[in-house]
Amino acid sequence: MVEIVIEKPRFEENPPPLLIMGISESKEYAKYSRHLDFKTVEYLKEILSERIFTGKIGTSLLLPLGSNYKIGKILLVGLGNPDKLTEETARIAAGKIAIKSREINEPNFSIFPIVGEESRYIEAMAEGIFLSLYKFDRYKAGGSESESVNIQKVSILIESENIEEVKKIIEHVKVITDAVNFSRDLGNLPPNDCSPGQLVSQSVAMADRYQIRTTVLERYQMESMGLNGIVSVGKGSNNPPKMLVLEYYGPSAEERPYLLIGKAVTFDTGGISLKPGDKMDEMKYDKCGGCNVIGILRAVAGLRLPIRVIGLVPCVENMPSSSSYRPGDIIKMFNDKTVEVVNTDAEGRIILADAMAYGIKLFNPRLVIDFATLTGASIIALGANVAAMVGTDDDLKSNLKSLSERTGEKIWELPLGEEYHEQIKSHFADIKNIGGRPAGAITAAAFLSNFTDATPWVHLDIAGTAWTQDGTSEKSYNPKGATGFGIRMIAKFFIEESRRNHAA
């Protein structure tokens, strides 16, 4: 378990075994030099003026200083163009540094702030460190005791006086990144160890430690309540469907809750409309929307935010069998709308729709946000590094957009209009579950909008961003596997909402 401490640089008394300095292409290091002894400064000057190190982004240079120097080693890390330094620069660089330090078997290091001392940069650095050191290796021989050392202590060296305030920020980052890593753990579980029942029981065990109330709806209950969408999709598997209800009631929270819905298809074969074999293994990640909702609840509860948040996670396994739902079936959904199933591989929208209608009726939320690995079409539209956003509330959309720019979780809005509703009209039922190839990500959202009533709603299609896949750009803080995409953005959203509600 890595610990991050905040302290002032005092190399006379306390020289670090490894000191890390971020250097941009302007090669500015003057601000650090007064903490270093004369000899070290001279050495650095030479390295930089001889262009042995240029500060180019992605590069690094390890300087073993030898016994004549106080500090053991210095690692220079390139930050690139000095005019383009952002929180994301700090997040990615700090993550790379942590990984590098692990590679060179150095469990403790000290680091000067990357980009700057402002709290947002320190926050981003801490995120980069906690998130990049995540590994899912419990199925490998040796498990977590693999070859390299575990990073133990990182000291961030700051000069300003408000060390206490910065420590608080690190504590919050720790709560949030632990929630992200928990979500990653669930997302990365192989489907043979993560049936709907197993996903639910692991989440309930977590919720019990965080004062989150849980209810689990079983198949027969869902049947009698009319949650036929979830039951239909889940009935082809011997692992029965479940609906996990997570309720967090923060201190002095207002009545109306926020509602989050997450798609958790523990494995998506496509069902009777079977998928081709290529990359089908990746459909273990089709539960990531649900895992993210579970992670967000953990973050909100861990921060003890003064709000109410409900998480609904419909969990199913989409399998072909003699008990599967079929193309041609017509399902009467929870809100009494009928859906013609044309393709059993468009299962996510069916389970989300039921959960959404149920949650809105039962909890009367002020708004709804859903997370889902919903369509391959969203990847065709935006690639594997940007999630698609569709929704009915302009304030909420622009709010999330700007938060996502700060957290590095990119989203882009797609339109929703009458023409897309046209595509999902059915001859035999109120709507059908696919709308053809064109605008596939949007017609999926149009389907969902039939189940939101007038509640302000935003849908995030995270098919491309929920795990590292073909086309994912390399980022230190997203190690291979599930990413927990969007959890930090929504945690920030709730932090700001808490402030707003209580200022009002």
Min dist. Cβ of residue 347 to Zn ion (A): 6
Residue 203 vs 269, nearer CB to ligand BES? 269
Q: 349, 432, 475, 492: which is the annotated catalytic residue?
A: 349
Q: How far is CA 476 from CA 19, 125, 126, 128, 480, in A?
A: 19, 12, 13, 7, 10
Measured CA to CA, the distance from residue 353 to residue 361 in angstroms comes to 12
The type of residue at 182 is F
Of the candidate spans 112-120, 152-160, 163-171, 369-377, the one that interacts with ligand BES by CB under 6 A turns out to be 369-377
Q: Which two tokens stand for residue 499?
A: 């402030």
Min dist. Cβ of residue 345 to Zn ion (A): 7
Residue 89 vs 375, nearer CB to Mg ion? 375
Of 108, 119, 343, 501, the one binding ligand BES (CB under 6 A) is: 343
Which residue's beta carbon is nearest to the bound Mg ion?
345
Instruction: Tell me which of ligand BES, Zn ion, Mg ion, none is bound by residue 439, counting a contact when its beta carbon lies within the kind-specific cut-off of 5 to 8 angstroms.
Output: none
Of the candidate spans 177-185, 212-220, 262-270, 471-479, the one that interacts with Zn ion by CB under 5 A turns out to be 262-270
Min dist. Cβ of residue 471 to Mg ion (A): 19
Q: Which two tokens stand for residue 503?
A: 């200022």
Binding site for Mg ion (CB under 5 A): 268, 345, 347
Of 101, 232, 375, 452, the one binding ligand BES (CB under 6 A) is: 375
461 binds Zn ion (CB under 5 A): no
Concerning whether 275 is annotated as a catalytic residue, the answer is yes
Rg (the chain; Cα; Å): 25
Min dist. Cβ of residue 318 to Zn ion (A): 7
Q: Are the beta carbons of 113 and 125 closer than 8 angstroms?
A: yes
Of the candidate spans 72-80, 247-255, 341-349, 405-413, the one that interacts with Zn ion by CB under 5 A turns out to be 341-349
Concerning whether 349 is annotated as a catalytic residue, the answer is yes
Measured CA to CA, the distance from residue 269 to residue 458 in angstroms comes to 27
Transcribe 468-486 into DSSP letters.
--TTPPP-TTS-SSB--TT
> What is the footprint of ligand BES within residues 281-310 (CB under 6 A)?
286
Q: How far is CA 67 from the centre of its chain?
A: 44
370 binds Zn ion (CB under 5 A): no
Q: How far is CA 138 from CA 98, 141, 229, 421, in A?
A: 21, 8, 35, 45
Of 107, 226, 306, 376, the one binding ligand BES (CB under 6 A) is: 376
Task: Give the pairing of strands 367-372 and 338-340.
Answer: unpaired
In the numeric block, the tokens 């999630």 are attached to: 387
185 binds ligand BES (CB under 6 A): no
Min dist. Cβ of residue 156 to ligand BES (A): 37
Of the candidate spans 88-96, 300-308, 367-375, 474-482, the one that interacts with ligand BES by CB under 6 A turns out to be 367-375
Classify burial at 439, counting beta carbons within 10 Å of its beta carbon; exposed 0-12, middle 13-18, buried 19 or more. Answer: buried
187 binds Zn ion (CB under 5 A): no
Which residue's beta carbon is nearest to the bound ligand BES?
376
Query: Mask: binding to ligand BES, 442-471, rule CB under 6 A, as x and -?
Result: ---------------------x--------
Residue 23 vs 291, nearer CB to Zn ion? 291
Task: Give the pairing of strands 338-340 and 431-432.
Answer: parallel
Q: 56, 275, 337, 401: which is the annotated catalytic residue?
A: 275
348 binds Zn ion (CB under 5 A): yes
Query: Mask: binding to Zn ion, 208-247, rule CB under 5 A, as x and -?
Result: ----------------------------------------
Q: Which two tokens stand for residue 106?
A: 């150095």
Of the candidate spans 11-19, 95-103, 105-113, 257-265, the one that interacts with Zn ion by CB under 5 A turns out to be 257-265
Residue 44 vs 448, nearer CB to ligand BES? 448
Min dist. Cβ of residue 295 to Zn ion (A): 19
Q: Specify the 3-state DSSP secondary structure of 459.
A: strand
Name beta bridge partners: 467. Answer: 482
Name beta bridge partners: 213. Answer: 247
Of 434, 439, 489, 495, the one binding ligand BES (CB under 6 A) is: 434
Measured CA to CA, the distance from residue 334 to residue 351 in angstroms comes to 10
Transcribe 368-386 into DSSP letters.
EEEEE---HHHHHHH-SSS
| Residues with Cβ within 8 Å of residue 245, at least 6 apart in sequence | 214, 215, 216, 217, 310, 311, 312
Q: Are the beta carbons of 333 and 451 closer than 8 angstroms?
A: yes
Q: Are the beta carbons of 74 and 110 closer than 8 angstroms?
A: no
Min dist. Cβ of residue 279 to Mg ion (A): 13
Q: Which two tokens stand for residue 504?
A: 């009002």
Task: Give the pairing of strands 308-318 and 242-249.
Answer: antiparallel
Residue 133 vs 444, nearer CB to Mg ion? 444
List residues binding ligand BES (CB under 6 A): 268, 286, 343, 345-348, 373-377, 434, 440, 463
**Active site amino acids:** 275, 349
Residues forming contacts to Zn ion in the complex (CB under 5 A) are: 265, 268, 286, 348
